[in-house]
Amino acid sequence: MLQVDKLGVTYPGQLQPALHQVSLSLARDELLVALGPSGCGKSTLLGVLAGFIAPSQGRVLFAGQPVTAPGVERAVVFQHDALLPWLNVHDNVAFGLKLQGADALTRERIVADTLRLVGLADVAGKRTWQLSGGMRQRVGIARALASRSQVLLLDEPFGALDAFTREQMQQLLLRVWQQSQRGVFLITHDIEEALFLATELVLMSPGPGRIVQRLRPTFNQRYRAGEDVRAIKSDPEFIALRESLLHSLFRQGHEEAA
């Protein structure tokens, strides 16, 4: 669905590119995670996929067509939700559908289904400021799902949550991803999160921002096959990969410092 070829981005007035020769692709059944330290270009990459930032080199295609602007088929969820505080949960999720011209009956059906999927059916009438951080992020995900999106672009969506809520949200994301049949592109600097969620993981490095390693972890698959999340994250194979990625990140830090 999404195809990125030799993408480069240099911000005006900067000598060093924020992204250099980045190539990747995202299919409908994939959960692609970009992992990397601060400044490696993760947000820039997501911004280009969303159509907020124009490439300086290379190209981005969605379903074969160049991405030149934001579009409903590519929904973005940010680390700090962009919910509308004067609307309740139901109306926040319905908002995009209204703009897209969906009739009331269709809107109600989609909103009810989506709120059920993310476990928020009971709080549909609440204002968003009455919710916890995890619930607010679930509203953001529900809103992205309710639109006619085919791809979800998630910018550190669980970065501001406590460890327990974060783990619950990771499991929720896997359920949602599996049931909604959409491609997901997620950026994070959390190694465990990346390893647990990704069907494909790209490790990025700064100066210039580029992909330095690609992995296809199988932990997401194991979770969906019924294995317990704690058993997966404490499995020696998981720990070995986590340490190896951590080592790569530290090495990057040393090279940058030198």
**Given the rule CB under 6 A, which residues bind ligand ATP?**
11, 14, 18, 36, 38-44, 189, 209
We find the least distance from the C-beta atom of residue 190 to ligand ATP, in angstroms, to be: 11
Q: Residue 107 or 210: which CB sits closer to ligand ATP?
A: 210
Output 48 or 111, the one with its CB closest to ligand ATP. Answer: 48
Nearer to ligand ATP, 127 or 189 (CB): 189
CB of 188 to ligand ATP, least distance (A): 9
Which residues does 208 contact at the CB level (< 8 Å), separation at least 6?
Answer: 16, 17, 18, 19, 20, 41
Residue of 71, 64, 76 lying closest to 100 (CA atoms): 71
Q: Are 142 and 62 in contact (CB under 8 A)?
A: no
Using the minimum distance from each CB to ligand ATP, give the nearer residue, 55 or 209. 209
Identify the residue whose tokens are 């968003």: 128
Instruction: Report the nearest approach of ligand ATP to the CB of residue 136 (Å).
Output: 20
Task: For ligand ATP, give the closer residue by CB, 39 or 71.
Answer: 39
Nearest approach, Cβ of residue 228 and ligand ATP (Å): 30
Helix (H) or strand (E) holding 151, with range, is strand 151-155
Give yes or no for a contact between 199 and 220, defined as CB atoms under 8 angstroms apart.
yes
Least CB distance from residue 23 to ligand ATP, whole Å?
17
Q: Closest Cα partner for 49 from 181, 165, 187?
A: 187
Do the beta carbons of residue 43 and residue 155 sit within 8 Å?
Answer: yes
- Minimal distance in Å, beta carbon 64 to ligand ATP? 26
Which residue, 149 or 252, is less far from ligand ATP as judged by CB?
252
- CA 126, CA 251: separation in Å to the nearest integer? 47
- H-type alpha helices, the chain: 42-50, 89-99, 104-117, 133-146, 163-180, 191-197, 219-224, 229-233, 236-257
Smallest separation, CB 151 to ligand ATP (Å)? 19
Looking at beta carbons only, is 4 or 97 nearer to ligand ATP?
Answer: 4
Report the C-alpha gap between 213 and 205 in whole angstroms: 9
